[in-house]
Amino acid sequence: MPEITPKSALEIVTVAALSDNYDFLVHDPVSGRTALVDAADPAPILDALSERGWTLDEIWLTHHHWDHIDGAAGVFEATGATLTGAKADQHRLPPLTRVIEPGQSFDFAGHEVQILGADGHTVGHIAYYIPDAKALFSADSLMALGCGRLFEGTPEQMWGTLSRFAALPGDTMVYSGHEYTASNARFARTVEPDNTALQNRAKAIEEARAKGEATVPSALSLELATNPFLRAHLPQVKQALGMTEAPDVAAFAEIRARKDRF
């Protein structure tokens, strides 16, 4: 019988860029293949690759905003890595090698990468979910203690996105695109001031940021317990909003509107 090579654990490295962006390197140590999720600025990405002796093979883009794609050309020129992005966003992304749509999947070094629709922040936003790595790269859709501002999409679209993510296993790690968590925590406490889990998380975030530590990624289970945007359907949250009888999406829209004014 042929020898079966066991699937390796992926290494995921957070790359800080610009003032508060995060890109992510995904590395398979057996094959040596490496992917990059979003590309804000080529310099820190290329430095992170060089420090580890990794060669970049693929770039996976989540959406068209400049702070997630402006580094793609420089990274491509330096590495020749292929570019993957959403069909719906193709007209406003760098030239793509592979065009994908929600519901599809592809293989990365023996790991299935699922494409999840993530409309809301923008229309055409996608997320990359690797089930066996328990990793969701959500960029500016679901964020640590927050969600992306609705620049193009509707509350219905973003609530659908968040509900889709909420159904994933609780031990999924959420790799979101920005270090907004401290501000998000301050807002979240205005919605649920008596949420003990949120109070504890806010304290931990404050301590982490004081030491210059990242608060991304975060466990989905923690988001479900503390993130007001994932909790808009709960009776206690609706009561706090004064919207006891409101549809879930209306409660979500109210939380998003309050955050926009915060």
Look at residues 1, 66, 7, 55 and name the one whose alpha carbon lies nearest to residue 27.
55
The phi and psi torsions of 132 (rounded to 5 degrees) equal -75, -10
**Contact criterion met (CB below 8 Å) for 10 and 113:** no
**180: confidence class by pLDDT, cuts 50, 70, 90:** very high
pLDDT of residue 2: 37
For 102-139, write each residue's pLDDT tens digit. Answer: 999 999 999 999 999 999 999 999 999 999 999 999 99
For 228-247, write each residue's pLDDT tens digit. Answer: 999 999 999 999 999 999 99
| 125 appears as a binding residue in the annotation | no
Mean pLDDT for 62-91 is 97
CATH topology of domain 11-261: Metallo-beta-lactamase; Chain A (3.60.15)
| 64 appears as a binding residue in the annotation | no
Q: How far apart are the first and last CA of the chain?
A: 63
The separation between CA 205 and the C-alpha centre of its own chain, rounded to angstroms, equals 18
**Contact criterion met (CB below 8 Å) for 22 and 179:** yes
**Contact criterion met (CB below 8 Å) for 241 and 255:** yes
- Distance in angstroms (rounded) separating the CA atoms of residues 119 and 75: 26
| 121 appears as a binding residue in the annotation | yes
Residue whose pair of structure tokens reads 């996105």 in the numeric block: 161
List the domain boundaries for the chain. 11-261
pLDDT of residue 179: 97
Q: What is the dihedral of CA 166, 230, 136, 42, to 10 degrees?
A: 160
pTM confidence score: 0.94
| 63 appears as a binding residue in the annotation | yes
| 233 appears as a binding residue in the annotation | no
Residue 6, pLDDT > 60, answer no
